Amino acid sequence: MLRILLVDDEPLELQALRDHVDWKRLGIDQVDTAKNGRIAYEMVLDQEPDIVITDVHMPVMDGIMLARKIRDLNQRIKVVFLSGYDDFSYVQSALQMGAADYLLKPFTAADIENVILKVKEALNRDMLFTHSLETLEQQLLERLCLEGDAQQPVLLEELARTRKLSSGADQYGMMIFFSVSGKSLVDHLLKYVAGIHAAWMDENRLGIILRGYADPYDNGLKIQELLEKLTGFPYSGAYLAERSLKDTQLRSSWQALKEMEDDVYYLPAGSFVKVSIAPDGTISSDFSFYPPPHVFTDLPDSVLEEALSRLEQLFPYENETETEAEIDRLLKRLREMRLSRRSLENAIWRMLLLLERRLSSGSGSPYRPALSLTQLEGCRCVGELKALLLGSFRQVLITYQENAGGKNAYVVRRVKEYVQQHYGEPMTVDAIADEIHFSVNYVRSIFKEGTGQTILEYVTDYRFARACELLKDPTLKVREVANMVGYENISYFGSVFTKRYHLTPNEYRKKFL
């Protein structure tokens, strides 16, 4: 979309210029007018047109002064003069000053069209040249961050030469996002986020240099939002509080941000951390997870064995709440040890392999790891790693259950566990089936096949076995015992008890007092 500003102090000539040319056909989408140079300059400041066609002689501010002020403001804007033959020498000097072209009065619509086409070609050349310079500058900024100390002097010199041509900024902000993949994301960000000066991929890290005027926090949140829309994941990152970095500070600043990767990994997905660099190079951030004295490069065997032992105790029981709590305790311990991300992944993998091998030993089944190291390395934050671990433990549990007697044995065991935990409450087969995620008919059939009795028979047997134990406690009344094993009707409890044991509850109690 091109914009043109027409400037003339003669209303009729200005109207004719505006209305008698098919600007749309020439690719001009917006046509504005001004009656003198001062008004025109205010409109240039506000709207930044691509082309200005101005009369030479005007009150308040003439065309030559307007052109000079436009040149000082933005050399990309093309100025075309309107003049009579009497002013031609005047216009010639203006052309030497940098005006794009001129039109001698009287002129036709065809004359204007020819000039506009020439000016559009000049705009296209400028755009290509500017784009080439911007691309070159982006590449140099990226190389300054990524290449070693030996290349820095050459890159800095080349950047200085490029900047003389482009009038680019020499003060920057910087940020990083972790566990990002896809070069297309870089192109998208450069296209749609105005404050970005350069962007690149360094393995799975997205590096961004901001123009000095761009607020790093606000722009970072916009970039996070855009990345999440494009990928569906809230990436975590870090940004430098300093927003006036010099060319010579880019490499060290990038290295400082990269050092935040292990720290940010332990934070929730979508975290965005402010980082400060002291004059002595000390790095600090707006969160503090770790004690500073020591960083473990590997998981000590004692910690590994303790974690294995605690997790192994969760089998053969299936309690996802306890499993998740144990994983949380382990990750918290590793975080406090300042274990790096790679060391954490290796430690978790070792622990899971050992746990699987222990649980499968003696089963005669081939050992099949539930999780690969590559899968662990693909986790973008500790929250994803935790979810992956929980899924792996479910798989390990299934393998364990299969080795311990197959699905049928699992169903029988889970039904018994449920009854033993809830015998004092109202209980239905439907509730038990929901708890272990099988259909009611399937649970009934498998339990009968595996135990030789129905679930209701097992519930009754277990309740009265517990009642017999409780009746041995003289402090408990018979009514209390009945309620404790799931019977609210004391008469019904007494009737069933007598039928089973040929003694009333009180008679049974007297045998043990």
Domain count of the fold of the chain = 4
* 11 plus 62 within the same structural domain: yes
Q: Residue for token digits 């970039």?
A: 223
- pLDDT at residue number 292: 41
Domain range for 71: 2-128
Asked whether residue 134 is domain-assigned, the answer is no
Return the DSSP state at 319: -
Of 384, 404, 424, the residue that ends a domain is: 404
Asked whether residue 241 is domain-assigned, the answer is yes
Highest mean pLDDT among 35-44, 139-148, 188-197, 404-413: 35-44
Over residues 343-363, mean pLDDT: 74
Residues 209 and 174: beta-carbon distance below 8 Å: yes
Amino acid at 21: V
**Rounded-to-integer distance, Cα 502 and Cα 494, Å:** 11
pLDDT value at 235 more than 90: yes
**Rounded-to-integer distance, Cα 224 and Cα 204, Å:** 16
**Rounded-to-integer distance, Cα 242 and Cα 133, Å:** 26
Angle at 36 (CA atoms; ends 30, 42), nearest 5 degrees: 60
Outline where 232-300 has alpha helix (H). Answer: 250-258, 261-265
Percent with pLDDT over 70 in the chain: 85
Asked whether residue 145 is domain-assigned, the answer is no
Band of pLDDT at residue 293, cut at 50, 70 and 90: very low
* 113 plus 18 within the same structural domain: yes
Band of pLDDT at residue 181, cut at 50, 70 and 90: confident
**Rounded-to-integer distance, Cα 353 and Cα 225, Å:** 38
Single out the residue of 63, 35, 67, 30 nearest to residue 49, CA to CA: 30
Model confidence over 163-176: pLDDT tens digits?
766 555 568 899 99
Over residues 417-438, mean pLDDT: 89
pLDDT value at 23 more than 50: yes
- pLDDT at residue number 483: 94
**Rounded-to-integer distance, Cα 67 and Cα 79, Å:** 7
Asked whether residue 135 is domain-assigned, the answer is no
Return the DSSP state at 247: G
**Rounded-to-integer distance, Cα 111 and Cα 81, Å:** 13
Main-chain dihedrals φ then ψ at residue 371, nearest 5 degrees: -150, 140
**Rounded-to-integer distance, Cα 450 and Cα 176, Å:** 59
Asked whether residue 162 is domain-assigned, the answer is no
**Rounded-to-integer distance, Cα 443 and Cα 455, Å:** 9
Q: The tokens of 269 are what?
A: 């997905």
Over residues 261-270, mean pLDDT: 88
Residues 36 and 8: beta-carbon distance below 8 Å: no
- pLDDT at residue number 405: 57
Q: Give the chain's radius of gyration (CA, Å).
A: 39
Over residues 323-337, mean pLDDT: 81
Model confidence over 140-169: pLDDT tens digits?
888 889 888 888 888 888 888 777 665 555
- pLDDT at residue number 183: 77
pLDDT value at 315 more than 70: no
Flag whether the pTM goes above 0.95. Answer: no
pLDDT value at 297 more than 70: no
pLDDT value at 182 more than 50: yes
Band of pLDDT at residue 128, cut at 50, 70 and 90: low
Of 260, 285, 310, the residue that ends a domain is: 285
Over residues 180-192, mean pLDDT: 84
Percent with pLDDT over 90 in the chain: 27
User: Is residue 427 helix, strand or coil?
Assistant: coil
Angle at 449 (CA atoms; ends 443, 450), nearest 5 degrees: 90
* 98 plus 119 within the same structural domain: yes
CA 320 to chain centre: 27
- pLDDT at residue number 398: 65
Band of pLDDT at residue 320, cut at 50, 70 and 90: low
* 124 plus 6 within the same structural domain: yes
**Rounded-to-integer distance, Cα 225 and Cα 169, Å:** 26
Of 312 and 209, more confident: 209
Asked whether residue 157 is domain-assigned, the answer is no
Model confidence over 471-491: pLDDT tens digits?
988 899 999 999 999 999 999
Q: Which residues of 349-369 are buried (b: 16+ CB within 10 A; e: fewer)?
A: bebbebbbeebbeeeeeeeee
**Rounded-to-integer distance, Cα 48 and Cα 46, Å:** 6
**How many angstroms separate the Cα of 335 from the Cα of each of 264, 340, 353?**
11, 8, 21
Q: What is the mean pLDDT of the chain?
A: 83
* 473 plus 494 within the same structural domain: yes
* 394 plus 429 within the same structural domain: no
**Rounded-to-integer distance, Cα 216 and Cα 195, Å:** 9
Band of pLDDT at residue 63, cut at 50, 70 and 90: confident
Three-state SS annotation for 481-497: HHHHCCCCCHHHHHHHH
- pLDDT at residue number 32: 93
Asked whether residue 41 is domain-assigned, the answer is yes
* 119 plus 199 within the same structural domain: no
- pLDDT at residue number 88: 63
Over residues 280-294, mean pLDDT: 57
Q: What is the CATH number of the domain that holds 248?
A: 3.30.70
Asked whether residue 291 is domain-assigned, the answer is no
* 386 plus 499 within the same structural domain: no
- pLDDT at residue number 262: 85
Q: What is the CATH number of the domain that holds 30?
A: 3.40.50.2300
pLDDT value at 295 more than 60: no
Over residues 1-26, mean pLDDT: 89
DSSP string, 388-421: HHHHHHHHHHHHHHHHTTHHHHHHHHHHHHHHHH
* 436 plus 483 within the same structural domain: yes
pLDDT value at 221 more than 90: yes
CA torsion angle for 161, 167, 173, 174 (degrees, to 10)? -50
pLDDT value at 406 more than 60: no
pLDDT value at 401 more than 70: no
* 391 plus 497 within the same structural domain: no
pLDDT value at 11 more than 80: yes
* 22 plus 122 within the same structural domain: yes
Q: What is the CATH number of the domain that holds 444?
A: 1.10.10.60
CA 451 to chain centre: 52
Contacts 24+ apart (CB under 8 A), 151-158: 152/248, 152/251, 156/247, 156/248
Of 404, 424, 441, the residue that ends a domain is: 404
User: Is residue 55 helix, strand or coil?
Assistant: strand
User: Is residue 67 helix, strand or coil?
Assistant: helix
**Rounded-to-integer distance, Cα 331 and Cα 491, Å:** 54
pLDDT value at 361 more than 60: no
* 461 plus 372 within the same structural domain: no
pLDDT value at 394 more than 80: no
DSSP string, 136-173: HHHHHHHHHHHS-GGGHHHHHHHHHHHHHHH-----EE
Residue 4 pairs with which residues in a beta bridge?
31, 51
Main-chain dihedrals φ then ψ at residue 287, nearest 5 degrees: -140, 160
